[in-house]
Chains A and B, each alone.
Chain A
Amino acid sequence: MQLAQLLIFLILFPLIAAFFLLLAKKDLERDWIVKLSALVIGVVSVYLLITTFDKGAMLVSVIPAEPAGLVMFILEMLIAVFILYLGITHKKWLVVGLILVQAVMMLYFEMTYAHAIDVQSNLFIDEFSNILALIIGIIGSLICVYSLGYMKFFHEHHPEMPDKRPFFFGILFLFLAAMFGLVFSNNIIWVYFFWEVTTLCSFLLIGYTKTEEATTNAFNALWMNLLGGVAFAGAILYLAMFGNGVMGLAELLATGKVVALIPAALIGFAGLTKAAQLPFSSWLVGAMVAPTPVSALLHSSTMVKAGVYIIVRLAPVFQSTFTGYMLAMVGALTFLIASGIAISQSNAKRVLAYSTIANLGLIVACAGIGTYEAIWAAILLIVFHAISKSLLFLAVGTVEHRIKSREIDDMNGLIVRMPKIAAMMVIGIAGMFLAPFGMLISKWAAIRAFIDAPYGFLFVIILAFGSAITVFFWAKWMGKIIAVTSDSKNVEGEVDPSEWAALSSLAGLSFITTLVFPMLSTKLLEPFLMTNYGQVAQLSQDNIIIMMLMLVLLIVLPLSILLPARKHRHLTPYMGGRTTTSDMRFSGSLGVQKKTVLSNYYLQDWFGEVKLRTWGIWLCSGLIGIMFIATVLPGVVL
């Protein structure tokens, strides 16, 4: 009983907060509601973890499927009508077509089969859902708090944009509610409902600024996610028609592969669209026009994680099947290609977007392979990526406001202009690719997982190349940030306290999660793997000790900056013997002074976005096509 109440609370409380936020017109009211709600959500998520972590998977049967199911169906139809209306008024016929197809499918399902479906346990909790609940509850809440300062600054400096902050924050919390619902639902129809709500929230938030670009990108995101929604609805219909009344995730996983493979493939496809895998990556990149909190919350740490969450959930079905293998290939190629494109991008948010797509690809690859080692790697990737990426997005948002630019080359010397924020960005970037931080641990785990998989050497090679590529683009960005320029003034003082709070918390979390990951693995991941696979994966004791050693070194060494050191003689950089000033201006003839401009290597000829993306779209579309054909042709098992 207690558990059911906790889960319902986490789903409904953000809804209530959203309602009050829609009504709150004054900044002060909004601040209080958001901060209090964030605190409550965070605390309850942690409480949920503490009370349930050692109890394994628990199904909750007290919530009956039926009035909830009907309410969801009505809401789905209302959302469909709303989207239909918007699609028609904006003449987005693809959206119109897709929503009509989806609505008809769900209508048909509701009228013909719904009464025959009886799912005993509609909600559940296990270690994996707990981890995601923590991500939503802690990181999500922190991002909402951050948004207070960010949106205030945003509207002060963009008076021409309509100030619809009540709406903005309302949708943010509605989204949190939907995410909780998604990860706690066992009933697949419920998962689908919450899935569609997140699509709607994403659409509304991307188009928040109502510029033409924002609206176009919002509809782009909408049609791709709706395509996934159609596939999801297809899976539900298939299960209704051929699945013997199975409509729960736990039950589906228990029925065995042959029955579950087709719906799993369809739901996996939906996951691919939501996680912006190739060929559906352009919506995520386009979504970067939205305000930064949206990018951080939806498009890096939470909503896109829902896409990979469902694929990881279905991994036992995918394991050792050709279908899963194709899915994994799509993920691996996305990882490689998106990482490559990230090299050629000079816009910070686009680099983060492509890096997100790449990491999601790696998670999909692990989930498609589906062995216990791969799932271990996948879940670790989910956790560490959520923390580091949201930290980076929030930092970029704050920096963008101060230096009025999103270009990486404009962030030269950030360590001088905004020391603490730059330090946090460095932590975030280091967290993405350097030992001993989390993402590196996850990649390490992924390498070991791939080696033992069928034809694993292909995946290992892709991972090796992708990993090398990520080192390049992260390190060159880091280099820009830590350049010590002599002529910059510190503009950090104007940063809002709510932004500071969120940023420092996330930076602290980066270190803490790396420190406690062995405990995370033993207490949460291993029981989950044991239940679902019968085997556990782990890093050896020796390696853990060594990584802790590295971490300690990395914490202690920077503290050396605090030591009183004698000042050394400063020289200006070497400029080939030319006369220069201390801020690196060349003195030319006739008293002309030319400033030195240093810009990153973008390697456009090799990693140009258009060329690589086209390759990726064709390759991955082909792979997805093969995956579906092979799935439908009866039982192709490796």
Chain B
Amino acid sequence: MISIVWAILFVFVAPVIGGLVCGIDRKITAHMQGRVGPSVFQPFYDVGKLFEKENAVVNETQIFYVACYITFMVFTGALFFAGGDLLLVIFALTLAQIFLVLGAFSANSPYSYVGAERELLQIMAYEPMVILTAVGMFVATRSFNVGEIAASATPVVLLIPGIFLGFLYTLTIKLRKSPFDISTSHHAHQEIVKGVTTEFSGPALGLIEIAHFYETVFLLGFIYLFFGWNPLVGVIAVIVIYLLEILVDNTNARVKWQLAVKSSWLIAVIVGVINLAALYFLAGGV
């Protein structure tokens, strides 16, 4: 059952929440590094600053790709929170990210190009795990519907613990946190300048930032799905996991893409086979 109310709520509230989450992220990171750090609202100030700048481009098509990227990112999140089909949500997310990649490719610039290739490698790294997560949730709750999974009384995370761990591993990639922030990052230490977002500036870059806020909220919601059977535990889990991600981000250096892809795949295969096989045989599979 699709809930339009939740979708509209997502469209308007998510960027605020996402921005706050990013701001808190920066504050905590700063304290971990012994700094005071910027205000919690700094991401909003940054986006505001970007929108004030001139929209200089490398070519006109970039604006189109960014517009598509944010449109489909909002669409993905809205569909998710409205309680749509989980597989469709994942595929819509891929569509959104492809637009970002295309925007980077269209600039025909070296850093942007390498960033785009690495972004595709990232997608290739986490996609198997994400699909397996959706499949795991189906096996646990017999439904692909986000609404039903979130409302389900089965303790999903206890049925698919392996997949949960694998998902957390790839979550680091999706959140663009070290050690897997190989295509672009919020930190300054980027050997390909800003990677995928190098050739975007001004309002276009601002839109990408806002899309990142939407994506963050969507990912947090995804984590919650594992704990749907107990909302309080779910919220706490989301907070704890995000703090964990921040910790991992600050204690690891970036790895090469080969390690990122190989390790993600290895984990996806191992947890996928073990967890799904276990569930299959426990369910009395043939």
Contacts and interface: CB of A to CB of B under 8 A. Distances in A.
A568 B63 contact: yes
Contacts of B265: 465
B193 interface: yes
A231 interface: no
B92 to A, nearest CB: 6
Interface stretch (B97-105, B226-234, B243-251): B97-105
Contacts of B272: 457, 461, 464
A480 B120 CA distance: 13
A572 interface: yes
A484 B128 CA distance: 31
A242 interface: no
Contact of A557 (B64, B85, B279): B64
Interface string A453-485: 011111011011101110110011011101111
Interface residues of B, number: 68
A50 interface: no
B128 to A, nearest CB: 4
Contact of B120 (A471, A558, A560): A471
A457 B131 CA distance: 12
A37 B213 CA distance: 57
Interface in B75-109: 75, 79, 84-85, 87-88, 91-92, 94-95, 98, 101-102, 104-109
Interface string A569-580: 111111110000
A530 interface: no
A569 B54 contact: yes
A561 B63 CA distance: 10
Contact of A568 (B56, B84, B121, B285): B56
A589 interface: no
A467 B55 contact: no
B185 to A, nearest CB: 16
B101 A479 contact: yes
B222 to A, nearest CB: 16
Interface stretch (A130-138, A194-202, A596-604, A615-623): A596-604
B88 A543 contact: yes
A94 interface: no
Contacts of A58: none
B106 A484 contact: yes
B268 A483 contact: no
Main secondary structure of the interface of A (DSSP, over half): helix
Main secondary structure of the interface of B (DSSP, over half): helix
Contacts of A440: 91
A464 B112 contact: no
A451 B109 contact: no
Given A471-B123, A479-B116, A596-B110, A570 B67 contact: no
B54 A472 contact: no
Interface in A341-387: none
A38 interface: no
B153 interface: no
Contacts of A40: none
A558 B167 CA distance: 34
Interface stretch (B12-20, B36-44, B132-140, B174-182): B132-140
Nearest to A598: B113
Nearest to A466: B128
Contacts of B117: 476, 600-601
A465 B131 CA distance: 9
A600 B118 CA distance: 11
Contact of A471 (B56, B124, B286): B124
A550 B92 CA distance: 9
A478 B199 contact: no
Contacts of B127: 464, 467-468, 471
Interface in B186-234: 193, 198-199
Contacts of A160: none
Interface in B241-284: 265, 268-269, 272-273, 276-277, 279-280
A227 to B, nearest CB: 33
Nearest to A542: B2
Nearest to B277: A457
Given A461-B276, A560-B64, A574-B109, A484 B59 contact: yes
A574 B193 contact: yes
A568 to B, nearest CB: 5
A7 to B, nearest CB: 39
A181 B32 CA distance: 73
Contact of A469 (B102, B124, B280): B124
Contacts of A479: 101-102, 104-106, 116
A451 B135 contact: yes
Contact of A475 (B59, B92, B98): B98
A147 interface: no
A456 B139 CA distance: 11
A454 B109 CA distance: 49
Contact of A546 (B71, B88, B108): B88
Given A542-B84, A568-B57, A434 B94 contact: yes
B88 A573 contact: no
Contacts of A480: 105
Contacts of B87: 444, 447-448
B71 to A, nearest CB: 7
Interface of B: 1-2, 54-61, 63-64, 67-68, 71-72, 75, 79, 84-85, 87-88, 91-92, 94-95, 98, 101-102, 104-113, 116-117, 120-121, 123-125, 127-128, 131-132, 135, 138-139, 144, 193, 198-199, 265, 268-269, 272-273, 276-277, 279-280, 285-286
Across the A-B interface, give the 4 residue pairs with the lowest CB-CB distance, nearest first.
A573-B109, A479-B105, A468-B127, A457-B276
Given A464-B132, A468-B125, A561-B64, 6 more contacts: A447-B131, A457-B276, A471-B123, A483-B108, A484-B58, A569-B56
11 contacts: A457-B279, A461-B128, A464-B131, A464-B268, A465-B269, A472-B124, A475-B120, A479-B104, A543-B88, A573-B58, A598-B113
